[in-house]
A and B are shown apart, each in its own frame.
Chain A
Amino acid sequence: MQASLKSKHVQHDATRKLRLQEWWFRNRALIGFAFIFPWFAGFIIFDALPFIYNLYLSFTDYQIGTRGIPPWIGFENYIDIFTDDKLFGKSMYNTVYYLGFSVPLRLVFAFLIALILNLRVRGMELYRTLFYVPSVVPLVAATVIFAGFLNTRYGFLNQFLVLIGATPVRWLSSPDAIKPSLILLSLWGFGGQMIIFLAGLQSIPEDLYEAAAIDGGTGWHRLVYITVPLMTPTIFFNLLLGLIGGFQIFEQVFILIGTNGGPLQAGLVYMLHVYNKAFRDFEFGYSAALSVILFLIIFVLTIMLVYTSNRWVFYGDAQDDET
């Protein structure tokens, strides 16, 4: 009697579970959609619609006081940008100049320091922290600190230069020094990339190095034939993110030099031009066209990098084993 009761109970329990599972199976599409709904709503409101509307705006003459639907003017904004806008070329030159130095220098510093830190020297944690801390400093604070640090009369750098008998530099007020100052500021934050490199280096299997040592490989061989090839995915990742971020440099310049871009507009970067056109001159259509051009440049560059990466980025056979 007792036994049959128990089995009944178990049976009941099992059918309940079965029903629950069925319910779940029938509704899991619904549940899945419900879980991604907030993100998807955000995607429509904050990504898709603005992106499309921005494209549309770039073909219109949207100025301050424009009411209702802005008038369509075709490619006029784009034609103006390429034929009439001196600041377009200037700001693009400044941005590429900045990128051309800051991105490779940051990669090289971050990689070299990560290599040294990976030698498992004593006190490595302390050094890692010291190199990384500047990257934790909020960008606004870092920029404001550099504004003081590079101050012509009262800043540390010039006072130090005087102390060792060098000539002080007008870092932020001479056209020649503005871009180097920005590059200096960007180098100060190489710690983020360094940490990513360090994590990559530590995931290289030890036995590869041991095998190389048995075959009589020197330190240089290990670096060139093992470390660098295995690190190419990480290098690629940092390079891509560095370029995408670098093209959009804004805050540092806005705070250090102001919206005009400093003397001779030597610090006028592309995003500053976009910002000025929209929020100073209220030429939203024109500014939208500028932003579309920047988007296309970043897009094409990303595609090109990803495409050529097949030739130099080593994705290895190890990955196939893992999955």
Chain B
Amino acid sequence: MVRYIMIYTILSLGAIVMMVPLLWTVSTSLKTRDKITIRRLELIPDPVAFENYPYLFEARPILQYTRNTMVIVVASLFGAWVPCTLAGYAFARIPFPGRNIFFGILLATMMLPYVVRLIPLFLFFDEIGWTRTFGPLILPRVLGHNAFYIFLYRQFFRGIPEDIYDSARIDGCSEFGVWWRIFMPMSRPVLAAVSIFAFSFAWNDFLNPLIYLGSNKELWTLALGLNALQGFEGEDNSLNLIMVFSMLMIIPMLIVFYFGQKHLITGVTASGSLKG
């Protein structure tokens, strides 16, 4: 009995501490302008300023930010669904010459920090006139340039029984057919997991948009817009709007994770990526 009281006390205290910043965000996002600069703790907003939410859409080009972010998200999802799965399939099931060497290269790139490629890539895109455009953000994603996704797919595909594959092949199914008709439908968990990663990495990306789109306000993403709101307006008298903006970035992520959480764990663990 004492043990249970202790467990629940620890869990509840921890959960409260973890949730306080978010509760404070919700509360601040609903406060009026003169309430946010009161130097006293006031968790329940009074009056409740729901109008902050529509107001932010007037004050900032939120829809434009969202559209720009979605361009990157869509490119990311396309890359994760088509080129990455094909590559994962080839690494798992097609015995082509040099496969192990290519796979070794793939694993090595997972360890390569972005910082050693940052400057040459910037100079390269600058040279071909692609800075201030979506190009540098889209091209790598459309090509499925993500070793981690390919690795997850490969591990998962290897877990699909060889018999299924063989019988399809004997029935005269092409490689493309096997990939499309058998592996894709059987791979829902790993597809869901990778899709969540792809969405959230694209949604959260900050450094790349900053470098390539920072000087082109037309193409700013939500992340850049939020950073600008907090940086330029002075954090004191627009705290409520900053928190409204934060909520706008958080809610889609919560929805994605709510629907995907079940698959996230099965997809990643079934890929066996944690066991090496």
Contact = CB atoms under 8 A, between A and B. Distances in A.
A312 interface: no
Interface residues of A, number: 91
Nearest to A134: B18
A42 B116 CA distance: 16
Given A36-B87, A147-B230, A195 B265 contact: yes
A136 B260 CA distance: 12
A138 B235 contact: no
B150 A156 contact: no
Nearest to A247: B113
- Majority secondary structure of chain B interface residues (helix, strand, loop or mixed): helix
Nearest to B121: A50
Contacts of A156: 20-21, 24, 41
A29 interface: yes
Contacts of A50: 116-117, 120-121, 124
A21 B169 contact: yes
A160 B7 CA distance: 26
A53 B111 CA distance: 18
- Majority secondary structure of chain A interface residues (helix, strand, loop or mixed): helix
Contacts of A271: 115
A173 to B, nearest CB: 12
A162 B4 CA distance: 33
B83 interface: yes
Chain B interface size range: 35 or more
A212 interface: no
Interface stretch (B44-52, B54-62, B204-212): B204-212
Given A38-B83, A121-B4, A200-B274, A255 B253 contact: no
Interface string B80-110: 0001101101110011110100100110010
A36 B147 CA distance: 11
B119 A130 contact: no
Interface string A222-242: 000000000001100100000
A233 B276 contact: yes
11 contacts: A36-B87, A38-B87, A131-B15, A133-B18, A136-B250, A144-B245, A147-B235, A148-B242, A156-B24, A199-B269, A233-B275
Interface of B: 4, 7-8, 10-11, 14-15, 18-22, 24-25, 28, 36-41, 83-84, 86-87, 89-91, 94-97, 99, 102, 105-106, 109, 111-124, 140, 143-145, 147, 150, 169-172, 174-175, 200, 203-204, 206-207, 210-211, 223, 226-227, 230-231, 235-236, 239, 242-243, 245-246, 249-250, 253-254, 257, 265, 268-269, 274-276
